[in-house]
Chains A and B, each alone.
Chain A
């Protein structure tokens, strides 16, 4: 299987602190990959580097979008909006919705980079503007239905229950037509019931939408049941990688999680 995202030797320094240390990671077409590791291992920093929020100190981030969705490209240091335009969309660990916009509008914002209406179109409402707007509403509504938020469609994002807010983040990211979805702790703060639903949802996105997924997650049950491959990080380095069963048995991983004495 070909990789659609290939990260090699990614390094990020903050002043004297090395947050990422020559990290290698790749995501293949149609796979669900997970990035795990103790708090402060550098997982979110990794997301911020590959989505253009930080400009990494070293290494290569290369995307190979599936046929018809773009070309192979090194995307180090490009702006976040350009990363999204190229087909990688993300969610945030600490939910960052547009609080005072409705659910529908939040998702429509995701369509922004796939639509064209400019100032003149907005003021004069050409026929093409109206059609584009209608298409946007339909497309967004379809996603909202798929993600199971249809009953909230006109509610303000801030009035949504917590679990629904997390799902809305996913819906919003999906609206940008990504080939790879980056989910930062999608299950954080969810109850077991919501987590089970999320498991189904993520699988559905992969199977039905053909979107590959890379997720950061602390809920090991979810990670093990969802992932095809797992990458484990500690102190900015990758310490292991493999299928769920391999990872479960890997002594380095166990040590990193349980904090065992290296000499023991």
Chain B
């Protein structure tokens, strides 16, 4: 039972991170129907930025809490800036092009960013500082759930709620939903499409960077390649829940997190990634609209 609980919570933590990254996929897909292949790289760059600034601030002698805050701030700032720039360079010129063109461009961007970080930084794994402090009140249950996991779960919940509120109640959220429904109609109704799309990328990158900082300080290691696998898994989560849906991304993240956690815990840890990929293949074949998505009829 204890083992089960451990796996359950492990899956929940893992799933939260997938959910945070999946949000970026799902929102971008909802709006411009593009699988933003470079999204995983944004997450990776977020983690690297946090690592770089945390190291600098440590050397400057800042205290732990201010390092955590400043490094996270830097991570989300730069990740958002990358997200914004990538859209302008690689996707905006292709809005009217066939969908596969934009997808190929996205794959190119992903490979480019991976190698950019590889060349400018290093190909080695770097130890990531434990930014999340240890809470003493967690001591009695620390063998079940540690401080880092708790922070991850709470942060994910807060981000989800904030995002849902943003989409439901703000003017920007309304514009986003309108653009997702019908881009031309939204344009005619005076929605600034470029701005909405940029914002979507910024928000998606922001949440990916949050996920990046959390997971990196949880696992304690990063390299230039972490974005690729995490990206595909988060995409799996987004599809699983129903791409385009925010609650779907969360649900999909959790389902994927538990699947991996239980499968590696009870079956075999050698095939960890195989489980995720198999789940992706199966869901796309049998229920491409996802758990919460609705099937759509093709327009003729």
Contacts and interface: CB of A to CB of B under 8 A. Distances in A.
A44 interface: yes
A53 interface: yes
A14 B297 contact: yes
Contacts of B297: 14, 54
B300 interface: yes
A53 B298 CA distance: 9
A54 B297 CA distance: 9
A8 interface: no
B289 to A, nearest CB: 14
A129 to B, nearest CB: 31
B47 to A, nearest CB: 43
Nearest to B297: A14
A183 to B, nearest CB: 15
Contacts of A44: 300
Interface in A110-166: none
Give the size category of A's interface with B: under 10
Contacts of A92: 300
A14 B294 CA distance: 13
Interface residues of B, number: 2
Interface in B256-300: 297, 300
A44 B297 CA distance: 14
A48 interface: yes
A134 to B, nearest CB: 33
Contacts of A14: 297
A97 B297 CA distance: 21
A200 B191 CA distance: 46
Interface in A64-94: 92
Contacts of B300: 44, 48, 53, 92
Interface string A1-34: 0000000000000100000000000000000000
Nearest to A92: B300
Nearest to A44: B300
A53 B300 CA distance: 9
A44 B265 CA distance: 54
Nearest to B299: A94
Contacts of A53: 300
A92 B300 CA distance: 8
A135 B241 CA distance: 52
Nearest to A94: B300
A178 to B, nearest CB: 19
Interface in A37-67: 44, 48, 53-54
B267 to A, nearest CB: 40
A197 B297 CA distance: 36
Nearest to A93: B300
A200 to B, nearest CB: 29
B168 to A, nearest CB: 23
A29 B229 CA distance: 61
A54 B298 CA distance: 9
Nearest to B298: A53
Interface string B218-243: 00000000000000000000000000
A14 B300 CA distance: 14
B171 to A, nearest CB: 29
A189 B215 CA distance: 57
B104 to A, nearest CB: 17
Contacts of A48: 300
A53 B297 CA distance: 10
Nearest to A96: B300
B80 to A, nearest CB: 38
A114 B297 CA distance: 30
Interface of B: 297, 300
6 contacts: A14-B297, A44-B300, A48-B300, A53-B300, A54-B297, A92-B300
Interface of A: 14, 44, 48, 53-54, 92
- Give the 6 A-B residue pairs with the shortest CB-CB distance, closest first: A48-B300, A53-B300, A14-B297, A44-B300, A92-B300, A54-B297
